[in-house]
Amino acid sequence: METLTLLALSFDALLNLSLLYLAWILLNCEDLLKAIVLFVAFGLLMALAWVRLDAPDVALAEAAIGAGLTGALLLTALAKLRVIETNKGTTQQLKQDSENFQTLHYMTPLALLLVAIGLGYVVFSMPPISAGLSNDVATNMGNSGVSHSVTAVLLNFRGYDTLLEMFVLLVSLLGVWSFGSTTSQHETTPGPVLDTLTRRLVPVLILVAAYLLWVGAHAPGGAFQAGSVLAAAGVLLLLMGWRPGGYLSTLPFRLILVAGPGLFAITAALLYLLKGQLLAFPVEYAGIIIFALETTATLSIAVILAALFLSEPPHSDKEHI
């Protein structure tokens, strides 16, 4: 037993140091492509850290969104940036931000070191045992409609946060669209390997997303994880060169985009009218309401994330002018 604890401890120590080391290297290395690749590796190690900290839901979310989708977003952005730079004939090297604190050049690391030491002290000053809200969660689980505690917090106890968070996603997509197209669309024909990969993998991804959504009620998983896996299927299709084109501006597509946040907000309003309380799910129907909310949320999250990856605005302007 003793050796096992020692093994676990040294594993934690190694993981911790690798995280910090990777973060340092990725932020300070010369090559941006390398930085992004290291960031994805960093995200995967973070997912490992979440597992070590008994947070499997967060690990799933991190692996799918934090490392996967963010990585894909960063890589395509870098590729587009390279195209822009080639067209404009500009090159960039690792450069200090001359505008920020030029005079404080040596002071900045020092000040940050002091901040870090102070924060570290504060972390250590926390009481060694604190139940947080775990007892409140445990007592109220029976009335939450689900048996998995993270889902209960996300969709029921603090469902209002999740309602607003869906709108954050939607606003970022509207923002991305309102800035307009970033590059000229260039169609790529996928090679046979990517083609096969996509054909085989997309159905599997859809299946995995459905599983994650369903399992969220009683085990790690849920709308955000399922939505991002489904979004990954969309990203693969987009990488294949599939372009939704006109679909993006059609009403059915827009309805899917807003279904998650919209249904959440309408549910909140209806429950207020019926029960006099925002988002107060009747205990006997809580499970089914949460499942309905999660299903629409999964679809919306998936489509929003994939659309963020595409980042091309729909051609709605042509349609209305």
Residues 231-250 that bind another protein (CB under 8 A): none
Closest separation in Å from C-beta 100 to another protein:
5
Query: Taking CB under 8 A as the criterion, which residues in 207-226 touch another protein?
Result: 224
Site for another protein in 124-163 (CB under 8 A): 124-134, 136-137, 140, 149-150, 153-154, 156-162
Binder among 44, 66, 299, 302 for another protein (CB under 8 A)? 66
CB of 136 to another protein, least distance (A): 4
Closest CB to another protein among residues 17, 245: 17
Q: What are the structure tokens assigned to 28, written together?
A: 């300070």
**CA-CA distance, 111 to 306, in Å (whole number)?**
40
CA 147/CA 269 separation, integer angstroms? 25
**Should residue 77 be labelled a site residue for another protein when binding is judged by CB under 8 A?**
yes
Residue 67 C-beta: closest distance to another protein, Å = 10
Tokens encoding 10: 């040294």
Asked if 163 contacts 268 with a C-beta cutoff of 8 angstroms, the reply is yes
| Residues 33-62 interacting with another protein (rule: CB under 8 A) | 35-36, 39, 42-43, 46, 49-50, 52-55, 57-58, 61-62
Rounded to a whole number of angstroms, the CA Rg of the chain reads 23
Figure out which of the listed residues 37, 41, 48, 73 binds another protein, where binding follows CB under 8 A: 73
Q: Which is nearer to another protein, 144 or 295 (CB)?
A: 144
- The reply on whether position 103 binds another protein by CB under 8 A is no
Cβ distance to another protein smaller for residue 289 or 295: 289
Taking CB atoms within 8 Å and a gap of at least 24, the contacts of 54-62 are: 56/220, 57/150, 57/220, 57/221, 57/222, 57/225, 59/220, 60/212, 60/220, 60/221, 60/225, 61/224, 61/225, 61/228
Nearest-angstrom CA–CA distance, 170 and 263? 13
